[in-house]
Amino acid sequence: MSKLSPSDTSAAARPADLADSADSVDSVDSAGLRHSSQQPGAEQHGRRISRVMLLQRELNDKPVPVPRPSAPTATAVARASAALRAHGVEPVGPDCTDHVDLVLVLGGDGTILRAFEIARERDIPLVGINTGHVGFLAEADPDGIEQVVADLVAGRYTVETRTTLNVEVICPDGTVTRDWALNEAALEKRDRARMIEVAIGVDGQAVSSFGCDGLIMSTPTGSTAYAFSCGGPVIWPEVEALLLVPVAAHALFTRPLVLGPNSCMEVVIQRVGFGGAEIWCDGRRSLDVPVGARIRVTRAERPVRLARFNEAPFASRLVRKFDLPVEGWRASSSADEAHSPEEDALRQPILTTSGKSAEGERRRSSSGGTA
């Protein structure tokens, strides 16, 4: 097991005061004052929404087909814009520099992650409508656009704060680059033929070193994304924790680590193939990671704010989004329920070779005599 040097451990300082937790909820009273509460499901009342930023798939940096008037996203955007205007709310685009009350984004999880860059910078809630594939971060489907707008205008929603990550790369020459992530910070190699040799530490203590294809440092929100695909556990959003998941590690002890919310994850790049390595934040922004660099990941002080209309538990969302097989979970157990022949056979006493039931044999042996 490799050890971090004393000079390295002294730099593992963690934020002392993180007031924003993963399960806190903001509520707004009739006077428009925002109050913070730890009770999930607190309602937001009476806040007048006058301007909503409407975003869609064009946020993607990659080339996308020109939206057709009949395309699902284009149709949904037109309906959302019409519904907002019908309620006296002005829809604006991402270039708007005036005050905006909320971000309404139509697309998949990738588009929603990109929209969070704008929402986080302005410190305003975001609500997503899924026109993509899984849409784990989306709150509604396109069929419910008009109802979503009506609930927004009426203030019938809650605001959850979701943990974000602060990512810091310290290069050997002293250069420091920083970024943030909502889902995960993923360390990846550029040379596909060689592994990355890394040493990982937590809170200044060396934990392990091994070769791998990469590492994923995730929030509870990102535990259902890349980290999930690499064998990481699903963490409920209200749980305050951080997650470290190795990717294709060549070692015996490479289990995912679930860490405390105030922990500091450190990764030292010991050896890497041609081209070096890079760390991707939400698959959106990348930082170069040369050999000898140190990556430090902690919980960020500024979270993101996610608007919710549905009071259903996270387990329901998990089952619905992943289409999990749950048939037979709550089978009827009433007393008058008829049992199948197979079940009746299992309920019959087992006979021994002497013709006596095994239950009677057990009673005699436990009591020390005959029944």
Which sequence positions are flagged as catalytic? 109
Task: Assign residue 31 a region (left: φ > 0; alpha: ψ between -120 and 50; beta: otherwise).
Answer: alpha
* AA identity, residue 106: L
Find out whether 317 and 223 touch, Cβ atoms under 8 Å. Answer: no
What crossing angle do the helices spanning 72-86 and 145-154 adopt, rounded to 10°?
Answer: 30
**DSSP states along 201-259:** EETTEEEEEEEESEEEEE-TGGGGTHHHHTTPPP--TTS--EEEEEES-BSS----EEE
The total number of residues shown for the chain amounts to 371
Q: How far is C-alpha 120 from the chain's CA centre?
A: 16
- The DSSP 8-state label assigned to residue 49 in this structure reads P
- Residue 215 contacts by C-beta under 8 Å, 6 or more apart in sequence? 186, 187, 198, 200, 244, 245, 246, 247, 267
Task: For residue 210, give every residue at least 6 positions away whose Cβ sits within 8 Å of its Cβ, in sequence order, or none.
Answer: 197, 198, 246, 249, 250, 251, 254
Q: Is the dihedral of CA 206, 207, 208, 212 positive or negative?
A: negative
